[in-house]
Amino acid sequence: MTNSTGKINVLMVCLGNICRSPSAHAVFKKLVADAGLSEIISVESAGTGSYHIGEKPDKRSREAAKKRGYSLRGIRAQQLQVEDFSHYDYLLAMDENNFASMLAMAPKQYHHKIRLFMEFANNAAMAVPDPYYSGADGFELVLDLVEEASAGLLSHIKQQDLH
């Protein structure tokens, strides 16, 4: 499913792009690098909202990620753009609200690229809950969920796109 860049492009999407999607971005990027696939799979993140454009990920996200060996360095909040639907092969929403926003924004021919990120996890949860108003446990839960979904996504891409 590679596009004109020759890479498989993955975009993680939440509301503000400062908690969930940057965490998913960092976790998946590390899994891809550890698998030796960084030349083939690229990952970015964005938000459906414009609240935090240009900001670093939430400090609590950065701290929780660092404890597990992930770096959110260099990630800055950006807003999802219409052109992203043609550029990315996988546009992965962290929850139903962002999924619905993405479908409403995307030209119909790209709807097949938009999925809930948790579809790739062996977990009953279909959403990565927003930890913004929670304590540290909320950020740990986000990492638990995105680690599981990232492993499932990488497995899916290897099976569907890389052979």
Annotated active-site positions, please?
14, 20, 130
**Contact at 8 Å (CB) between 12 and 94?**
yes
Q: What are the Cα distances from residue 126, in Å, to 93, 96, 104, 118?
A: 10, 8, 20, 5
15 within 8 A of 96, measured Cβ to Cβ: no
SS3 for 95-110, per residue? CHHHHHHHHHHCCHHH
Quick one: which H or E segment has residue 14? strand 8-14
- In whole angstroms, give the CA distance from residue 108 to residue 95: 20
